[in-house]
């Protein structure tokens, strides 16, 4: 799924050069991407004909180079870029596109924080230090979510963020050292697990103390529109500072897209897709 008008409150557009994923922790229980994708399993010609099975989508790889105006782009809203089934070379190609199309701001969010750390500290070093690429981990609980923060802090990233969503319990004292942004949200949809106000207040308080921008996405619940996104009578829509870069010419974009695609084709795509 690609959209230039994402319904996600903290982004403008989504870009999915990978589709599908597998569950890894309790935050995945009601994965919206899985629910969406599985509705189309078996529908001939639909982008989600294969349901939520993991696959690369090389024809989407250079899409941001074709978007001619600056956007905040959520990378892989329908997958996890650092899933073990995505080859290193493909992740490098995705990062090359983000570095080339630098008039956008990218949000890369993962639950595979160990792979994020090890790649940012090695092959992805060329992208890690770019302030227009924000790297984040999901923090849904203490057991699985909180330990991801340390991986992120130990990754050589210029901008780091936490997506504390769906918040399933009081996360306790968080280490916010070198964290540049925190999003908090409750789960929504059928069977949504409730989020208590004191958990949200605790995270907001910690962000205030550490001087970290705080974004409150939603209370969630079965009817998320009704529960809304106000906390103590106001909304919280804070972001890290965005850097501005000029949009390249059409010719420059075309030749960059061609060179990235050619470099990726030289990697054995057949092996990658196997
Ligand atoms: S990691 Fe994300 S995309 Fe993958 S199953 Fe979990 S919630 Fe869904």
- pLDDT tens across the length of the chain (274 residues): 445 567 777 788 999 999 999 999 999 999 999 999 999 999 999 999 999 999 999 999 999 999 999 999 999 999 999 999 999 999 999 999 999 999 999 999 999 999 999 999 999 999 999 999 999 999 999 999 999 999 999 999 999 999 999 999 999 999 999 999 999 999 998 899 999 999 999 999 999 999 999 999 999 998 888 899 999 999 999 999 999 999 999 999 999 999 998 887 765 444 444 4
Q: Within its chain, how far is the Cα of 198 from the centroid? A: 26
Ligand 1 centre from 126 Cα, in Å? 26
The protein residue with its alpha carbon nearest to ligand 1, atom 4, reads 21
DSSP H helical ranges for 54-145: 88-100, 113-120, 125-128
Do 20 and 51 contact (CB within 8 A), yes or no?
yes
Q: Which of 14, 26, 28, 114 to mutate to test the pocket of ligand 1 (most atoms within 8 A of CB)?
A: 28
The pTM assigned to this predicted structure is 0.94
CA atoms of 219 and 233, how far apart (whole Å): 13
Atom 8 (ligand 1): residue with closest C-alpha? 31
Distance 32 CA to ligand 1 centre (A): 8
Give the Å distance between the CA of 30 and the centre of ligand 1.
9
Ligand 1: residue of 55, 79, 144, 188 to mutate (most ligand atoms within 8 A of CB) is: 79
Please name every residue paired with 216 in a beta bridge, in sequence order, or none if there are none: 184
> What are the pocket residues of ligand 1 if the criterion is a CB atom closer than 6 Å to any ligand atom?
21, 23-24, 27-28, 31, 33-34, 79-80, 111
User: Which secondary structure element, helix H or strand E, spans residue 137, and what is its range?
Assistant: strand 133-138
Q: How far apart are the first and last CA of the chain?
A: 22
Measure 51 CA to ligand 1 centroid, in angstroms: 14
8 A C-beta contact, residue 115 and residue 54: no
């Amino acid at each position: 799924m690609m959209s230039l008008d994402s319904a996600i409150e903290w982004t403008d557009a989504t870009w999915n050069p990978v589709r599908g994923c597998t569950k890894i922790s309790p935050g995945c229980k009601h994965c919206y991407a899985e629910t969406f994708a599985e509705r189309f399993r078996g529908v001939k010609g639909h982008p989600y004909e294969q349901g939520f099975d993991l696959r690369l989508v090389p024809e989407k790889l250079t899409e941001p180079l074709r978007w001619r105006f600056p956007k905040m782009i959520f990378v892989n809203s329908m997958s996890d870029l650092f899933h073990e089934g995505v080859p290193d070379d493909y992740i490098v190609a995705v990062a090359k596109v983000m570095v080339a199309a630098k008039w956008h701001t990218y949000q890369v969010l993962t639950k595979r924080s160990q792979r994020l750390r090890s790649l940012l500290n090695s092959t992805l070093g060329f992208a890690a230090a770019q302030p227009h690429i924000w790297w984040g981990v999901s923090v849904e609980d203490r057991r699985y979510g909180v330990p991801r923060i340390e991986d992120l802090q130990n990754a050589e990233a210029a901008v780091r963020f936490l997506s504390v969503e769906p918040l399933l319990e009081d996360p306790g004292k968080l280490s916010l050292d070198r964290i540049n942004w925190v999003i908090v949200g409750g789960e929504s949809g059928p069977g949504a697990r409730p989020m208590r106000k004191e958990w949200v207040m605790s995270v907001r308080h910690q962000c205030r103390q550490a001087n970290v921008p705080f974004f409150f996405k939603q209370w969630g619940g079965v009817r998320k529109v009704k529960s809304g996104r106000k906390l103590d009578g106001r909304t919280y829509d804070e972001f890290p500072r965005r850097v501005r870069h000029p949009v390249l010419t059409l010719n420059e974009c075309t030749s960059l897209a061609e060179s990235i695609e050619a470099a990726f084709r030289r990697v054995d795509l057949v092996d990658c897709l196997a």
